[in-house]
Amino acid sequence: MTLLAVWNTCYFLFWYKQGSVKTGNDGIGFLTATRKQEVVFSLYIAAVIDALFAYYICVVANYCNALKEPEEPMMMTEPKEVMMMMEDKKDESMMDKMSNKSKMDMMEAMNDDAADKPDDAMVEGA
């Protein structure tokens, strides 16, 4: 519609040579206006139609957004998964440390027991 209004403006300002413009048809009659009035009228009609079309596009876009199903935010799910993985790794490393420590304690206890037993055996044999 805007292109049509620009074409009307160029036509009536540059090529149309008469001072008045007759518009209409036999059924409803003819209207007579000056060239400038015709240009303003065509620009006004184009602006109104363009505004209505822009409003229609905005309403349809909002309606489409309203019908979409809500999406789960990706930022919220990923950190939770990462945190859970980190906690699992911490638990595993803690268990490894504890098992290593308990193994070391058991080895020391066995060494202590082994060191104590020969002494006890000597004491018993003497």
DSSP H stretches of helix in 22-73: 35-67
Instruction: Tell me what pLDDT residue 102 has.
Output: 66
Instruction: Tell me what pLDDT residue 82 has.
Output: 65
CA atoms within 13 A on the CB side of 69: 2
CA 62/CA 46 separation, integer angstroms: 24
- Model pTM? 0.49
Q: pLDDT tens across 79-109, in order? A: 666 666 777 766 666 666 666 666 666 667 6
Instruction: Tell me what pLDDT residue 113 has.
Output: 59
At residue 117, φ and ψ (nearest 5 deg) are: -65, -45
Instruction: Tell me what pLDDT residue 77 has.
Output: 52
Instruction: Tell me what pLDDT residue 70 has.
Output: 78
At residue 72, φ and ψ (nearest 5 deg) are: -75, 130
Percent of the chain with pLDDT over 70: 57
Residues with pLDDT less than 50, the chain: 126
Instruction: Tell me what pLDDT residue 95 has.
Output: 65
